[in-house]
Structure 1
């Protein structure tokens, strides 16, 4: 690849707004969900999937269900995307916290439908 094209691609990547928002890992059999927030949704979903596949996920209940049911019984999805804001210094962390709270209200942590 020529240097100019490579430089252009790197610049485009650096200036692209990352996909951030709320995600879930859902057990299709029980309906239980692991909800999370991330400033890099694709990276977070990939990390959870890889940890489960390697048998080292930090949520023991989810890990146990994964082992007993298998990968085909889980769905990894993005529930909500945070849009890029034009205001300088916009607090994306606070926005993510509010969005996660909203989704947790639908499936409260500790309920039978939630992986803690």
Structure 2
């Protein structure tokens, strides 16, 4: 059962403040094909939410990566694994840019895990999936 909505304005303010002070983790995740070891790598400022969204899209036959979607339908959900491979480590430095840090991690992990097509599922900019 879902938690009931806070009843007082002060309780709502406290929940809002808590969320702003504790944002979800940003990071990079991988979806691995356990049969041929192809991998799809993506990142988000909310890595848990993005991973859940990807799983939902695959289940609902609506994932934007057509090659990954086709293999998911052909092999079944049990032949894929989902994992967080890295998260953005927050720093208290002036000018720290979490989004830029995430982009760097994403590029590094796509290279490291060999996620570029045809060996992986990721397509380079300007190339359709």
Give the total of aligned pairs. Answer: 115
Structure 1 segments of 4 or more deviating over 6 A?
Answer: none
Equivalent position to 2:92, from 86, 91, 111: 86
Query: Alpha-carbon deviation of 1:28?
Result: 1.1
Match of 1:51 among 48, 53, 57: 57
Q: Given that residues 41 and 115 in structure 2 are in contact (C-alpha distance below 8 angstroms), is that contact kept between their aligned partners in structure 1? A: no
Unmatched tracts of structure 1, length 5 or more: none
Tell me, in whole angstroms, the C-alpha distance in 1 between the residues paired with 2:107 and 2:97: 16
RMSD (CA atoms): 1.6
Alignment of 1:1-116 (within 5 A): 1-3=6-8, 4-106=10-112, 107-112=114-119, 114-116=120-122
Q: Which has the higher contact order (CA 8 A, sep 6+)?
A: 1
Q: Which runs of 5+ in 2 are unaligned?
A: 1-5, 123-129
TM-score where L is the length of structure 2: 0.80
